[in-house]
Structure 1
């Protein structure tokens, strides 16, 4: 993302329904991993997800390609550094957990990025990955955010397995709001992230939170979530 979109994300991420539920998903997954260890949050932007890791006891580092994002994260008290996910300035076999939420779709050489995720993970380490899915949802929103692609289950599986990762779980997210997203994307002229009224923000948040309790993970959604393991 460019500086404008990073500033927009920083303004929204604390209260926007989409960011809040993504953080809640991350929190639930890391609680299931057991004893906290060393983690890196790739494409961390202003460090919202990194702070979730720290709150759950992880020694967490934020990495982003944007110096603006790194400055924002540091300003929020997050340990952050510049880095290119295609060639990370990090040692091999260093991390118990790698988080890469909505990063791979921005990368021209996503195979190199996936390979780097596996390289920096310790044997048995976990990767938590989120990407936008389904090119039928491609729109001006994707262009504004600098996306290279949207993924299918098959294309994401191939990417991660070829990088040496073992997929333990893959599920769809933002399923119930997919019809709304598809309708809006057809009319989109740019990034859809915007300030919402408290009523609308609360309603969307309640809808997406309900997916925690409904068996919708195999249905088409707006995003794909993956938990994978390094050999």
Structure 2
């Protein structure tokens, strides 16, 4: 995964989409991407940074802290980013200060955590009053396959169940929706074929360069509509989460 996230269309496309979403959403809020306020620079936490593939993208928006459970992934993320990556076991061991962050990124992590509501509540305690959490998760439980088992997922979400977990954590949904929608028909055929045959779909393998480029271009096109157009369905969900007023 550490190797493929540098080139695979899904990882590179997701970074482009989330970067566009953050730039637009932070521009609408009191938090200005990449700028300082009288309270200091924008502070960002990535919770569950893995091998650090998203840290470069997030660093465009402010100063980064990061935590990660896996020791090997921490070492790789530290080598790539030059940051100190702190060990962390969500939701009960989160070694960062309370009420310190303008933005917390929880990118395809929540589905790995047994206690998702407790995880969100713990992260909510680390937000500044006007801060936000960006959450992404895999969508649609009926698409559960070997891919989810291989990646140690606990669950897949619907819009309703993700919103319910956020509300159950005492937080407020500011914006929520599906993405990875344009390629959904193709992905659906591949995923259902894998489920029916009992053989895993090779979702993690980087396709041949021309195919990878085409898939990335299609997926990345969603950066123009995410958060603006309500997609009816998709392989993933995003949510922007705030503290209750």
Q: TM-score, normalised by structure 1?
A: 0.90
2:181 and 2:231 in contact (8 A); partners too:
no
CA distance, structure 1, for counterparts of residue 95 and residue 202 of structure 2:
31
1:170 and 1:224 in contact (8 A); partners too:
yes
2:44 and 2:63 in contact (8 A); partners too:
yes
Instruction: Tell me what 2:75 maps to.
Output: 71
Instruction: Tell me what 2:239 maps to.
Output: 226
Instruction: Tell me what 2:44 maps to.
Output: 39
CA distance, structure 1, for counterparts of residue 61 and residue 109 of structure 2:
24
CA distance, structure 1, for counterparts of residue 152 and residue 183 of structure 2:
22
Q: CA deviation at 1:190?
A: 6.2
2:179 and 2:231 in contact (8 A); partners too:
no
1:139-178 equivalences in 2 (<5 Å):
139-178=145-184
Give the unaligned 5+ runs of structure 1.
Answer: 1-8
Q: CA deviation at 1:131?
A: 0.3
| Residue 26 in structure 1 maps to residue 18 in structure 2 | yes
Q: Which of these two proteins has the greater Rg computed from alpha carbons?
A: 2
Deviations 1:182-221 (A, max 9, x none): 2222314266211211111011111112223457632110
1:140 and 1:191 in contact (8 A); partners too:
no
| Residue 59 in structure 1 maps to residue 63 in structure 2 | yes
Q: Call closer, same or farther: CA 1:23–1:31 in 2, change over 3 Å.
A: same
Instruction: Tell me what 1:4 maps to.
Output: none
SS in 1 for 2:3: helix
Instruction: Tell me what 1:96 maps to.
Output: 102
CA distance, structure 2, for counterparts of residue 205 and residue 28 of structure 1:
15
Instruction: Tell me what 1:202 maps to.
Output: 213
Q: CA deviation at 1:164?
A: 2.2
Instruction: Tell me what 1:10 maps to.
Output: 2
SS in 2 for 1:48: coil
Deviates more, 1:65-74 or 1:170-179: 170-179
Instruction: Tell me what 1:120 maps to.
Output: 126
